[in-house]
Amino acid sequence: MADTTPADPSDAWRIRAVDRGNGPVRLAVKDCIDVAGVATTSGSALVAATAQPADADADVVSRLLDSGHRVVAKTNLDEFCFGSTGVNPWFGTPVNPLDPTRIPGGSSSGSAVAVAVGHAEVALGTDTTGSARTPAAFCGVIGLKLTRGAVSMRGVQALAPTLDCLGVLAARTARIRAALRALGVEPRPLPDDARLLRFRIEGTDAELDASVDRALERSGLLVETVEIPGWGDAAAATRSILFGEAPTALAPWVAGALDRVGPDVRQRFATAAEVGPDELSEAYAAAPRWRATLRELCTDASMIVTVSMQQLPPRIEERSAQPNSATSPVSLAGLPAIVGPLDEVQPGSALRASVQVIGAEGSEWQLCDVLDRLCPDVSDG
């Protein structure tokens, strides 16, 4: 199989340049989302070898094109979206703009890098267990996971249908709001009595937690510390569903051709083979209970605040195959969540801490309002 890695590593954020639409706002689209007239490769040379141009835009692309956006690129990703590192053996690994020795995070790595370095004002990604939020956190930008089912996923490659969701990335909350408006997500004002429920995830780096606490102190919002039993169990159940469903979703491309995919994907298929029917059934049974737990906490006036990563982005050679356990439990609940950059983590370092805010179904606009208070660097108001 031919190596398609770009000669210039700085170009690895995109798989191809695109020129579709006439609007002024540059839009980058993850290459698992259809753009009419362009082949969708899902970051795989196996798929790229035979892929034909898409007949139509994905519904989400169509909506954005109709509202002043212009597609300028299809962005790179973990092969088949099946990973959280952003490392791609075929199209190169997008360079983390905060520290090129570290992974950009995935699977929407190219989308995060595109907005971080200014190649696009907004980018589309997907978020199955954190695939938009993780690279946003690692690259110092905003990543929003929408409420599951809030927008059509027609024209978007499936990975784990129980969890798959759309993600939107940008450097400014104003761009996120414009995308939400285009996608038909109704505004919902932040109540005057809004309160933030601070939850600390066990095993988190102390400085990352401290950055979140400092942001909460500056926000002027009411903050209450809470315990959320079962977070780790929810992360484990989400992992089981991801690895349990992905082989079926990817079978049309991968069946009989595992020797033609990258080593990370082969490793994940080996892990998936260990997920038996009993484990998967238990994970499905856990989902509604966990959803009820988070929905009870997340109301019109209450949102949960956590870190969006428990440790700094790993160095490329130290990458892990495991989903981000700070983000994945939110996916199991189907709720929306947004992440944004906070303080530099150490003097002289460009790496940033990052905060996650989780809300009730349909609270995407409120999440942007809260992020403005916690992360003033990304606010336009």
pLDDT tens digit string along 201-246?
999 999 999 999 999 999 999 999 999 999 999 999 999 999 999 9
Q: Hey, which residues are catalytic here?
A: 30, 107, 131
Angstrom CA distances, 323 to 124, 193, 263, 270, stand at 20, 34, 17, 15
Q: What percent of the chain has a predicted confidence (pLDDT) above 70?
A: 99
Alpha carbons within 13 angstroms on the beta-carbon side of residue 378 total 33
Whether residue 2 is predicted with pLDDT greater than 50 in this model: the reply is no
Which residue in 234, 380, 206 sits closest to 304, CA to CA? 234
Amino acid identity, residue 136?
Answer: A
Whether residue 152 is predicted with pLDDT greater than 70 in this model: the reply is yes
Amino acid identity, residue 268?
Answer: R
Instruction: Report pLDDT digits (tens) over 39-90.
Output: 999 999 999 999 999 999 999 999 999 999 999 999 999 999 999 999 999 9
For domain 10-378, give the CATH number.
Answer: 3.90.1300.10
Cis peptide, bond prior to residue 379, ω within 30 of zero: no
**Helix ranges restricted to H, the chain:** 45-48, 59-65, 109-116, 133-139, 173-182, 206-219, 231-254, 263-272, 277-297, 328-333, 364-374
Average pLDDT, the chain: 95
- Distance from the first to the final alpha carbon of the chain: 50
**d(C-alpha 197, C-alpha 331), whole Å:** 18
Under 8 Å between Cβ of 40 and 157: yes
User: What's the confidence (pLDDT) of residue 7?
Assistant: 64
Whether residue 150 is predicted with pLDDT greater than 90 in this model: the reply is yes
User: What's the confidence (pLDDT) of residue 55?
Assistant: 98
Under 8 Å between Cβ of 240 and 282: yes
Instruction: Report pLDDT digits (tens) over 89-119.
Output: 999 999 999 999 999 999 999 999 999 999 9
Pair of tokens at residue 226: 């809470």
For the chain, give every domain's residue range.
Answer: 10-378
Instruction: Report pLDDT digits (tens) over 280-306.
Output: 999 999 999 999 999 999 998 999 999
pTM: 0.97
- Quick one: residue 203, left, alpha or beta (phi over 0 = left, psi -120 to 50 = alpha)? left
